[in-house]
Amino acid sequence: MKIALASDHAAFELKAELAAWLAEQGHEVADLGTNSADSVDYPDYGYKLAEHVAAGNSERGIALCGSGIGISIAANRHPAIRCALVSEPVSAGFSRTHNDANVIALGARLIGIEMAKACVTAFLTAPFAGDRHVRRVEKLSQLPQDA
């Protein structure tokens, strides 16, 4: 699978570890930066990842920052992106089965490498359940109508 990763300075080490691990698993990895501890703005990398995945350059994306919150907000500004902030594998799996998430966000200051790997594994292996979830997922890319 083609997987893109992007992070800010707070998560560049976790991103590098995950990128190496994913490559060892046989995935094609696109590292969209950043690549140092020099301070950068997470929205820039969230937007870059969102554009990359939305354009079809990678099937899935992994967004990382200190908490995962800021970069997930940035990625979700793109209407074709469904980015779920996760911190354990159950929610990572549900992000796929129920929400057809194409990006997950992780907080490097909140989880370690083994939990991050467990989340990524669940995200990459869980299939979208379809059925009643299709209608709901389609609404995620539309402006809200009167409820």
Instruction: Identify the burial level of 143 via C-beta atoms within 10 angstroms of its C-beta, where 0-12 means exposed, 13-18 middle and 19 or more buried.
Output: exposed
C-alpha distances (whole Å) from 24 to each of 39, 65, 88, 99 are: 29, 23, 22, 28
The 10 Å Cβ neighbour count of residue 140 is: 14
Cis peptide before 121 (omega within 30 of 0): no
- Let me know: does 72 contact 85? Beta carbons within 8 Å: yes
- The set of catalytic residues is 65, 98
Task: Pull the structure tokens for residue 94.
Answer: 């549900």
Per-residue burial over 76-106, b = 16 or more CB atoms within 10 Å of its CB, e = otherwise: bebeebbbbbbbebebbbbbbebbbbbbbbb
